[in-house]
Amino acid sequence: MSITILKRSSRGMRSVKLSNGFLYTISLLLLSTIFFAGVSGYFYANSDSSMVKVDQITIDSWQTELEDQWAELESTKQASQQQINALTVRLGMIQAHITRLDAVGERILSISGIDKKEFNFERKPAIGGPEKSLNAGQNSGSGNSQQNLEVSFDQVMLSLQSREQQLKVLESLLMDKHMGTERYISGRPTIKGWLSSYYGERSDPFTGKPAWHAGVDFAGSEGDLVIATAAGVVSWVGKRSGYGLLIEINHGDGLVTRYGHNDEALVFKGQVVKKGQIISKMGNTGRSTGAHVHYEVIKNGRPTDPVPYVNRLKR
């Protein structure tokens, strides 16, 4: 087989004849090119598919790692929140202790008579001074810092509890001393007036016959103020034969004081009264010849002369 190719030129038509060997060679080269192109395309396609598989595996791995990191972050966040909550609770306990200490301090001030300007529990204490940096070893590691913080909280709590107990003991001692002073019977039962009748045997003002007078009388004007000669609890308010309107105060340790012939009572039974507190207005009730207060001191159930108590120096 042969192929003739006609070609136009300036010299006219020319013909080129291709032999069978040349055609065979050209065909072989063309088939080889197609074959190698197909093989290359096949391997390229397989190579590209392999690359896609590797990339997907990598992405899945990254996704899994990212999810693990998020889970760890959430766990750390929850643990941190729990620690913050615990520290908040402990801080609240410390603040409660401080509030109680302030209250005890205020009571001690009121009892002891110390100037409140010197110990003002409502004002923050003034502090200052040069600061020095902490050693490097004290700040190494978050775990150590957290542990040191917890230890500091424990130390503060123990210190506050100790101070609170000490202040309560001091308050108790001062209160006992204060109440001892308050219960110390002394002075006159009136703000105004004069001693008009003594304790003991005297002439009865109504019959003129000898009679026993179990107290002392302080004369004055109706409406004059009558005061308690010591702190105690009001054990009687009401009318009693011979006394008119009577007020009785129990001071403990077997001591009782009585205030008779009142016009108006300003306290009630069961009330706690202080030394010097106004308890009534002077009157002329009961077996009386004029406005006065009949004052008695009862010791262990028996009347005793009030004059030594009246003349006592105040503590």
Going by pLDDT thresholds of 50, 70 and 90, the confidence category of residue 94 is confident
Weakest mean pLDDT among 74-88, 114-128, 218-232, 279-293: 114-128
CATH for 194-310, options being 1.20.120.80, 2.70.70.10, 2.60.40.10, 2.40.160.40: 2.70.70.10
Give the model's confidence band at 46: pLDDT under 50 very low, under 70 low, under 90 confident, else very high.
low
Three-class SS state of 210: strand
291 C-beta neighbours (distance < 10 Å), count: 19
285 Cβ contact partners less than 8 Å away, ≥ 6 residues apart: 239, 244, 245, 261, 262, 263
What confidence category does residue 98 fall into, taking pLDDT thresholds of 50, 70 and 90?
A: confident
Residue 162: what pLDDT?
66
> Which run of H or E residues covers position 218?
strand 216-219
180-209 tens-digit pLDDT: 566 689 999 998 888 988 998 888 877 878
Mean pLDDT of 33-58: 63
pLDDT digits (tens, 9 = 90+) for 168-178: 665 665 555 55
Q: Compute the average pLDDT of residues 117-137.
A: 55
Look at the block and give the residue holding tokens 């003129």: 208
Cβ atoms of residues 271 and 234 within 8 Å:
yes
What confidence tens digit (pLDDT) does each residue in 220-278 have?
Answer: 999 999 999 998 899 999 999 989 999 999 988 889 999 999 999 999 999 989 999 99
Q: What is the pLDDT of residues 279-315, one digit of tens each?
A: 999 999 998 889 999 999 999 999 999 999 998 876 5
Q: Distance between CA 184 and CA 77 in Å, rounded?
A: 65
- What is the pTM assigned to this prediction? 0.47
